Amino acid sequence: MLTLRHVSKEYRTGLLVVPVLDNISLSIAAGEFCALTGPSGSGKTTLMNLIGLLDRPSRGEVEIAGRSTKQMTLDQIALTRNVMLGFVFQSFHLLSTATALDNVGLPLLYRGLPIGERRRRATAVLERVGLSHRQNHRPDELSGGQRQRVAIARALVTEPRLLLADEPTGNLDSRSADEVMALFLELNRDLGLTSIIVTHDPSIAARCPRRIVMRDGRIFDDNHGELREYAR
């Protein structure tokens, strides 16, 4: 599903070159559920931005579903991102003036789907995340855990092949965090959705079959999903 080959990333600020990712190679198969962990500043978000095609590596190659993105034009990259990837963020990124239903339907508006079809699909996905009874509420009328479930529904509505979540439980109390993690694991189990979850919370990471640990811009440890049965 995802292959990184010798990926490096550095930022340039004036004359200064700051190396952030150093020669990362990594392969994630379809259906895997991975935690990406490591201390703050170790490069997790930078790596997720490369995997999510929001940024390009300084060196090396990102391949998604067997297709290298290295030679792609910006349009091809945007298309690949829209068709293949779903994103969930720490701070939800919901439209505060729109209902849950309209937030979830928004990606389909960008795809040009008519309102009836948008509503039908958004309703189905909200039901999938257990929020049918909240579909006409705005974000400020929902709890943190519910907001994140709306954001997950919005990520799912385009039927992505790979779900990327950067600290999705970072703004939640521990009970809501547990519920959101349970939902991610359920989506992986029931839909086979390949998922990468960034977290620096060891108890969240412990629930993920595969754990990739970063340190100083490199992969420090990777259990390759060896503890799959145990972790579930």
Ligand X SMILES: Nc1ncnc2c1ncn2[C@@H]1O[C@H](COP(=O)(O)OP(=O)(O)O)[C@@H](O)[C@H]1O
Q: Where on the chain is the footprint of ligand X (CB under 6 A)?
A: 11, 13, 18, 20, 38, 40-46
Question: Is 188 a residue that touches Mg ion (CB under 5 A)?
Answer: no
State the minimum distance, in angstroms, from the CB of residue 198 to ligand X.
7
State the minimum distance, in angstroms, from the CB of residue 42 to Mg ion.
9
Question: Is 176 a residue that touches Mg ion (CB under 5 A)?
Answer: no
Q: Which is nearer to ligand X, 107 or 217 (by Cβ)? A: 217
Spell out the residues 6+ positions from residue 120 whose beta carbon is closer than 8 angstroms to its own: none
| C-alpha Rg value of the chain to the nearest Å | 18
Find residue 210's DSSP bridge partners: 34
CA distances from 104 to 16, 23, 107, 136 (A): 42, 37, 7, 11
Q: Which is nearer to ligand X, 38 or 86 (by Cβ)? A: 38
Q: Which is nearer to ligand X, 32 or 167 (by Cβ)? A: 167
Say which entry of ligand X, Mg ion, none residue 71 contacts (CB below 5 to 8 A, set by partner kind).
none
Kindly identify the residues of this chain, within the stretch 138-167, that bind Mg ion according to CB under 5 A.
none
Q: Which is nearer to ligand X, 129 or 214 (by Cβ)? A: 214
Q: Which is nearer to ligand X, 58 or 82 (by Cβ)? A: 58
Nearest C-alpha neighbor of 20 from the set 224, 218, 186, 163: 218
Q: Which is nearer to Mg ion, 45 or 194 (by Cβ)? A: 45
Say which entry of Mg ion, ligand X, none residue 206 contacts (CB below 5 to 8 A, set by partner kind).
none
Say which entry of Mg ion, ligand X, none residue 46 contacts (CB below 5 to 8 A, set by partner kind).
ligand X
Say which entry of ligand X, Mg ion, none residue 147 contacts (CB below 5 to 8 A, set by partner kind).
none
State the minimum distance, in angstroms, from the CB of residue 81 to ligand X.
19
How far apart are alpha carbons 223 and 232 in whole angstroms?
15
State the minimum distance, in angstroms, from the CB of residue 8 to ligand X.
12
Interface region with Mg ion, contact rule CB under 5 A, candidates 44-52, 87-95, 108-116, 152-160: 44-52
Question: Is 45 a residue that touches Mg ion (CB under 5 A)?
Answer: yes
Residues forming the site for Mg ion (CB under 5 A): 44-45
